[in-house]
Structure 1
């Protein structure tokens, strides 16, 4: 009888090309995603070594990190340099490129799944930490550095030490007002921003059956903020229904063959994880970060914590630094904190489901005076869907700015950034110091909370708003 295996072990073993004692495993990479911000040096390295891209057919390129979202003009010299380099490299090596202005363009971790390039059992890498997004399909998906990007371009393989395994078991009944973003923030708050360090997480449990593929991508996306190397969810009927509608999905007999393989990608009964964490979702409510890492969060109805009450010296010191940067006082109720800017978008929460959630709150309401709200679709496909449903009319009528697709204010590599010590409610994934601007203060929230906050002018839950 074979030893029971986790889905993580099954997919990992499927891709091992070479294994030597004391050395990292060499994994075959099924799909390599690249973008303009992290690939130029990798191509320069290839050129200096006289090498070609080994599998351009398994490489996809995207323009997303530095592009503007106000217009189709690349006015910034740095952005033009990055984009021009990617275009030259893709032309030289025959790599398919989703160009700025193309109707298929968008954020790499939004476009690849929506086009159907990612499916269960694959190995996927990208020079971007949030590649973990694709683990929502039961794929093994890693973010890597520039030297690794070069290695995969040249060999279609990646040397990587095998991480430990971690099960996150969600239990209980999922409250109606809790979104996927709240689940992952609750987990990170429970285990800490480094609680999954050195592990690949498998998210499990009955509550996940009620989470859509878009919500699952949000959760796997932020595995990195829990310190994990990657996150995965075993494929199920929700996964298959999503994949069947994708342009690149297999059809006919190829679909049936793929399904037979995908259905085997589950953790066997009796399989062992190196670590198991249980999260009871029954009592959860919308979450919001108060500090400068995603683990510094509380329920929106809660208050800024008192660092002096924290037993761990490092945790206490980190909290004190965070509160100084965020200009918050212990004991302050989070739902009284005023907000200058609201950002809806990113590879975490820039999909059509997220925009529908925002529109549902904004419909018939207005963005508060003095608040700037940006709604940035994760792809041009998402933008078209939103406009076909009239969501953009809701955003504009409420006083929000309806933008083109791009990474935008998530990391501020283009003109979408905060000036000075402004305070932003953001649906993105990171709230580090200076992430959205040199002095920017970022509160991570779900799309629904972001919309309610824009209306209230302070951090707010949809349930707290008066009827429109």
Structure 2
């Protein structure tokens, strides 16, 4: 490191990046060492095929974690998968993992689940690491103070073959959320609010660190929700400095360090924060008290408003943005200037790598206990992993859901992305705790409102978009 670099403090990102750079090509990218590589059934087959074609093996199979999540059914997982493409992909993953000596948490395994849920809960995800997966929401793991990002299929093959990756260092942004959250406002509302302020492209080209007193007050599961959606603002990755909340969450998990190893790593992890004199290329400041329960109205996650707000009027939209805005609200069947509150919904989906952890399910169960779903609404609750499912049953959450007329399904990505059997029918409205509301994301011509688990739970009970604050004591 040059004397010039010693003169200023380092950001959290720089501390981890510098430790993992194998070499830097002058005027070009760096060769970055990758600590952990997650794979699943959708983006790995071509990469394995490439290795076979070249006649080479996986360089460090013990640093790969494999699971089936995107295309798996969330009912009757003990039966053969009905959809042919899904069945072939899941079987191919199993065969490839067998051939290359990679441990697989496939259907039926007690650790199976959405890749970004099982990594943290198993203690695979740790501060200071570099982590990749052929999935854009790999940014989730940055909640632990790691550099975690999605990669393309050719890059999956590169990491399998070398445990390294060619990467250009991104610019650095810090988003500070200071103050106390109001009643009924949760982490999903924070990230949807940030998106509404900076837009779905507002962090393009940046690694984003989320900081401030409101972020530090959050649980690990809530922090994961925020880092999960950093990709939705165009960021390369999102991260939060580890602290005592992080260390308490990690301790005792299946693949976590113990004894002297734990003490040694903990001493290092405690150095992972942005120095007081660290320099960011951009900073955004948000007041926590300005955030209300949020919902999207359009077809990208940046098109969000408070649930008591209205779809923007045409006069509020920049001239160059009007064509895409009008196309978006036409797809959604909404009118410019209309209120969103009171809008009828047909489906409620609570799940995905954004909001399918035990805290999310507890939040929903606490609200719906003693209530019943609206007659004309179908509710799908999909846990993020077998461990979340087991915990929900142990706590009696499944019984609360059953009495409310909800269905607790089996783990998988489910209706987040319409690649499996769980699709929202054309023209129907779904209030979803997932991360994307793109056209057709949840099924051809499905219409998606993104919201928090609390706002989704309220819609399940009332059948309409509402303000959770009016229903909390």
What TM-score does the superposition give when structure 1 sets the normalisation length? 0.98
The alpha carbon displacement at 1:463 in A equals 2.9
2:8 to 3, 11, 22: 3
Q: Deviations over 1:434-456 (max 9, x none)?
A: 00011000000000110001111
Figure out how many residues of one structure are paired with residues of the other and give that number: 466
2:361 to 343, 355, 368: 355
Give the equivalent residue in structure 2 for 1:382. 388
Q: Deviations over 1:271-308 (max 9, x none)?
A: 10000001111121100000000000000111111123
The alpha carbon displacement at 1:115 in A equals 0.2
Give the equivalent residue in structure 2 for 1:220. 227
Aligned: 1:399 with 2:405: yes
Q: Hey, what's the Cα distance between the residues in 1 that align with 2:37 and 2:380? A: 31
Give the equivalent residue in structure 2 for 1:337. 343
Q: Hey, what's the Cα distance between the residues in 1 that align with 2:430 and 2:214? A: 30
Q: Hey, what's the Cα distance between the residues in 2 that align with 1:121 and 1:466? A: 39
SS at match of 1:169: strand
Pair 1:8–1:466, CA change in 2 (3 A)? closer
The alpha carbon displacement at 1:2 in A equals 4.2
1:423 to 424, 429, 450: 429
8 Å Cα contact 2:174-2:209 kept in structure 1: yes
1:411 to 408, 417, 421: 417
Q: Output aligned runs, 1:22-33, within 5 Å.
A: 22-33=27-38
1:438 to 440, 444, 458: 444
Q: Which runs of 5+ in 2 are unaligned?
A: 1-5
The alpha carbon displacement at 1:3 in A equals 2.5
Q: Hey, what's the Cα distance between the residues in 1 that align with 2:374 and 2:39? A: 39
Q: Hey, what's the Cα distance between the residues in 2 that align with 1:113 and 1:18? A: 29
Q: Hey, what's the Cα distance between the residues in 2 that align with 1:309 and 1:390? A: 47
The alpha carbon displacement at 1:173 in A equals 1.8
2:194 to 170, 179, 187: 187
8 Å Cα contact 1:197-1:226 kept in structure 2: yes
Give the equivalent residue in structure 2 for 1:67. 72
Aligned: 1:52 with 2:57: yes
What TM-score does the superposition give when structure 2 sets the normalisation length? 0.97
The alpha carbon displacement at 1:461 in A equals 2.7
The alpha carbon displacement at 1:319 in A equals 1.3
Aligned: 1:372 with 2:359: no
Aligned: 1:93 with 2:125: no
Q: Deviations over 1:103-152 (max 9, x none)?
A: 11100000011000010000000000000000000010010000000000
Give the equivalent residue in structure 2 for 1:15. 20
The alpha carbon displacement at 1:466 in A equals 8.7
8 Å Cα contact 1:307-1:317 kept in structure 2: no
2:264 to 252, 257, 260: 257
Q: Hey, what's the Cα distance between the residues in 2 that align with 1:123 and 1:29? A: 5
Give the equivalent residue in structure 2 for 1:209. 216
Q: Hey, what's the Cα distance between the residues in 1 that align with 2:111 and 2:164? A: 28
2:247 to 240, 250, 266: 240
The alpha carbon displacement at 1:171 in A equals 1.4
Aligned: 1:293 with 2:286: no
Q: Hey, what's the Cα distance between the residues in 2 that align with 1:466 and 1:356? A: 15
Q: Hey, what's the Cα distance between the residues in 2 that align with 1:181 and 1:315? A: 26
Q: Hey, what's the Cα distance between the residues in 2 that align with 1:421 and 1:196? A: 32
Q: Hey, what's the Cα distance between the residues in 2 that align with 1:317 and 1:237? A: 48
Give the equivalent residue in structure 2 for 1:231. 238
Instruction: Please list every run of at least 4 consecutive aligned residues from structure 1 whose deviation after the TM superposition is greater than 4 angstroms.
Output: none
8 Å Cα contact 1:110-1:351 kept in structure 2: yes
